[in-house]
């Protein structure tokens, strides 16, 4: 679009252009695009109360009023995501539609709450992974626990894992993470053993294990996030977990236990697939907490 046309560009069309840009040019995940679409739909609905709005009519004050109206009841992390969406949208308008300046550029992010991530204890997880699974579904759940805790995978990364993504010797896997970025993660010895046991069960059920999704039903149909979320959570609860229980807790535990045992922060960042080191640093808070507890118990003058 020529800069001269920018003044006539209506907000809904500008938003549609931006979402297309995120999908086609930036390779954003469908989850992120969906979240941004909902955020910008709220902006459109809010602005429309005052009549038709053009993209050029957006200014800092308007966006601050919108953010203030939306902030009630939202956690700081959700407010930050909303502002990040607006900043990205404003930058897109400047670069692609001749907007003179990004109206959201100087709006400050809200201060994030200081929360420790939920982590399961190493001894508890040892118990979970020592019990022999009985049957196909139990073996699949055990494999999931092994992979979440042993390789630090996200839920969508594991449900999207294919047999062709696993190295021939089973020592690593290539996973598709956020931003459509691939990374290679290690597979523990116990996870490799469980993977072979699960592969054998798949073959017994007539399910091929050379291509296609790793996580399937006994009939060979891929299973989605909801089933894996539920079965892993149920397994942790069945073993006595009373705190927050989910695949992401296992991912948190993976990172925290690595750092507790002296792993390099940058290496953990790469294994988790974080784009920013600051995202990984939240796990050091848990490790510092453990260090203080150990100090208080062990030092004679603590």
Q: Say what the pTM is.
A: 0.63
* pLDDT more than 90, % of the chain: 53
Q: Give start and end residues of each alpha helix (H) in 118-262.
A: 122-130, 136-151, 155-159, 189-204, 225-238, 247-260
DSSP designation for 106: T
- Residue 115: its pLDDT value, please? 62
DSSP designation for 10: B
* Highest mean pLDDT (candidates 80-89, 195-204, 258-267, 291-300): 195-204
Give the CATH number of domain 3-97: 1.10.150.130
Catalytic residue chosen out of the listed positions 140, 199, 235, 251: 251
Cα separation, 82 vs 63, whole angstroms:
11
Tell me the pLDDT band of 6, cut-offs 50, 70 and 90: low
Tell me the pLDDT band of 3, cut-offs 50, 70 and 90: very low
Place of tokens 């592969």: 199
Active-site residue, 140 included: no
**What does each C-alpha distance from 165 to 106, 157, 172, 173, 184 come to in angstroms?**
43, 11, 9, 6, 9
CA dihedral over 211, 213, 214, 219, signed as positive or negative: negative
**Average pLDDT value for the chain:** 87
At 45, give phi and psi (nearest 5°): -65, -40
159, burial (CB in 10 Å: exposed 0-12, middle 13-18, buried 19+): buried
- Residue 98: its pLDDT value, please? 84
Cα separation, 234 vs 249, whole angstroms:
13
Q: Which fold has domain 122-298?
A: hpI Integrase; Chain A (1.10.443)
DSSP designation for 131: S
Q: What's the whole-number mean pLDDT along residues 141-160?
A: 96
Catalytic residue chosen out of the listed positions 21, 81, 248, 282: 248
- Nearest CA to 151 out of 120, 196, 183, 197 is that of 183
Q: Is it the case that residue 90 has pLDDT exceeding 70?
A: yes
- Residue 2: its pLDDT value, please? 44
For the record, the structure tokens of 196 come out as 């072979």
Active-site residue, 274 included: yes
Catalytic residue chosen out of the listed positions 165, 178, 183, 285: 178
At 162, give phi and psi (nearest 5°): -115, 155
Active-site residue, 269 included: no
Reported as a single tens digit per residue, the pLDDT across 56-67 is 888 899 999 999
Active-site residue, 178 included: yes
Cα separation, 199 vs 92, whole angstroms:
47
Catalytic residue chosen out of the listed positions 42, 174, 274, 285: 274
Domain ranges of the chain: 3-97, 122-298
- Residue 4: its pLDDT value, please? 38
- Alpha carbons within 13 A on the beta-carbon side of 192: 13
Reported as a single tens digit per residue, the pLDDT across 239-290 is 988 888 999 999 999 998 998 888 888 898 999 998 877 778 777 766 666 6
The residues near 107 (Cβ < 8 Å, ≥ 6 apart) are 60, 63, 64, 67, 83, 86, 87
Q: What's the whole-number mean pLDDT along residues 230-240?
A: 93
Tell me the pLDDT band of 55, cut-offs 50, 70 and 90: confident
Catalytic residue chosen out of the listed positions 87, 140, 154, 269: 154
For the record, the structure tokens of 140 come out as 């699949």
Residue 253 neighbours by CB distance under 10 Å: 23
**What does each C-alpha distance from 110 to 61, 75, 78 come to in angstroms?**
16, 10, 10
At 28, give phi and psi (nearest 5°): -65, 155
- Nearest CA to 163 out of 193, 208, 118, 201 is that of 208
- Residue 301: its pLDDT value, please? 65
- Residue 280: its pLDDT value, please? 80
- Nearest CA to 86 out of 49, 36, 52, 31 is that of 36
- Residue 89: its pLDDT value, please? 94
- Residue 29: its pLDDT value, please? 77
Active-site residue, 283 included: yes
* pLDDT more than 70, % of the chain: 89
CA dihedral over 153, 157, 159, 161, signed as positive or negative: negative
């Amino acid at each position: 679009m020529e800069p001269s046309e920018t003044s006539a560009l209506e907000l809904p069309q500008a938003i549609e252009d931006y979402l297309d840009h995120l999908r086609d040019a930036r390779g954003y995940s469908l989850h992120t695009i969906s979240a941004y679409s909902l955020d910008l739909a709220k902006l459109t609905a809010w602005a429309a109360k005052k009549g038709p709005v053009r993209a050029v009519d957006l200014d800092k004050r308007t966006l601050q009023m919108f953010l203030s109206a939306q902030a009630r009841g939202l956690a700081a992390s959700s407010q930050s995501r909303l502002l990040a969406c607006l900043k990205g949208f404003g930058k897109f308008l400047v670069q692609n539609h001749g907007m003179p300046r990004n109206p959201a550029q100087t709006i400050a992010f809200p201060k994030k709450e200081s929360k420790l991530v939920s982590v399961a204890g190493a001894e508890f997880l040892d118990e979970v992974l020592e019990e022999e699974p009985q049957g196909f579904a139990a073996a699949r759940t055990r494999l999931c626990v092994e992979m979440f805790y042993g390789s630090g995978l996200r839920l969508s990364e594991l449900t999207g894992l294919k047999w062709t993504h696993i190295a021939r010797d089973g020592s690593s896997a290539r996973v598709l993470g956020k931003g459509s970025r691939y990374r290679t993660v290690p597979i523990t010895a116990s996870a490799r053993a469980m993977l072979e046991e699960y592969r054998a069960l798949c073959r017994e059920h007539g399910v091929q294990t050379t291509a296609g999704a790793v996580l399937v039903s006994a009939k060979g149909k891929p299973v989605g996030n909801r089933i894996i979320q539920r079965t892993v959570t149920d397994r942790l609860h069945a073993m006595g977990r009373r705190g927050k229980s989910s695949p992401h807790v296992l991912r948190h535990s993976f990172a925290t236990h690595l750092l507790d045992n002296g792993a390099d922060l940058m290496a953990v960042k790469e294994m988790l697939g974080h784009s920013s080191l600051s995202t990984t640093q939240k796990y050091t808070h848990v490790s510092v907490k453990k260090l203080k507890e150990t100090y208080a118990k062990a030092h004679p003058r603590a």
